[in-house]
Amino acid sequence: MRDEVFHHWMKFAIWAAPTIMVLTFLILGGGSNNGLGLAGAIGGAFDALLFIILYSIFCGISVWRIVSKYRQLKHGKK
């Protein structure tokens, strides 16, 4: 990977990775015991769905930023 492409992605990852860590902590720690006994399979499936969406967005944006910067440098645009 070219250095410019890496730095372009790193500008995104420097704030996105800590944000994902905080959101993961909040999802895992928050709301798992509501006293009603409803946190079992429904809560686990919903948490899994949130994780899939969250990490898919992160990976999708990462790939998009890498490919777009690479194409921009390949065609000589600044």
| CA atoms 72, 75, 77, 78: torsion sign | positive
Looking at the domain assignment, is residue 33 inside a domain?
A: no
Looking at the domain assignment, is residue 9 inside a domain?
A: yes
Say what the pLDDT of residue 48 is: 84
Looking at the domain assignment, is residue 37 inside a domain?
A: no
Residues 6+ apart with CB under 8 A from 26: none
Say what the pLDDT of residue 30 is: 60
Looking at the domain assignment, is residue 60 inside a domain?
A: yes
Say what the pLDDT of residue 38 is: 47
Structural domain that includes position 10: 3-28+44-74
Looking at the domain assignment, is residue 15 inside a domain?
A: yes
Looking at the domain assignment, is residue 36 inside a domain?
A: no
Looking at the domain assignment, is residue 39 inside a domain?
A: no
Successive 10-residue mean pLDDT values, the chain, 78 residues: 85 93 81 50 76 93 93 80
Predicted TM-score of the model (pTM) = 0.72
- Please tell me the total count of domains within the chain: 1
Say what the pLDDT of residue 27 is: 81
Centroid of chain to Cα 64 = 13
